[in-house]
């Protein structure tokens, strides 16, 4: 898993990959990607403010839940 930060010029709304809330994109965009650079989704500013360790933990829990469903 990687984090990619991009400048954003679009005024679109996205849904946060972690909290599933709709949010307005700001000047910068945080995207969660796999090791090949394929994007999984965007992270909202509120979740971003909690830091990369917290985000990583939330995504790890989500991944573990997916594995138990299979």
pLDDT one-digit tens code per residue, 35-58: 888 888 999 999 999 998 999 899
What's the mean per-residue pLDDT of the chain? 87
- What is the model's pTM? 0.80
The 10 Å CB-count burial string (b at 16+, else e) for 30-61 is bbbeeeeeeeeebbbeebbeeeeeebeebbee
What is the percent of the chain with per-residue pLDDT over 70, rounded to a whole number? 94
């Amino acid at each position: 898993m990687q984090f990619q930060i991009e400048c954003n010029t679009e005024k679109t709304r996205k849904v946060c990959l972690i909290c599933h809330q709709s949010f307005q994109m700001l000047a910068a965009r945080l995207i969660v990607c796999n090791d090949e650079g394929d994007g999984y989704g965007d992270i909202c500013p509120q979740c971003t403010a909690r830091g990369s360790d917290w985000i990583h933990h939330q995504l790890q829990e989500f991944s573990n839940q997916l594995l138990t469903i299979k």
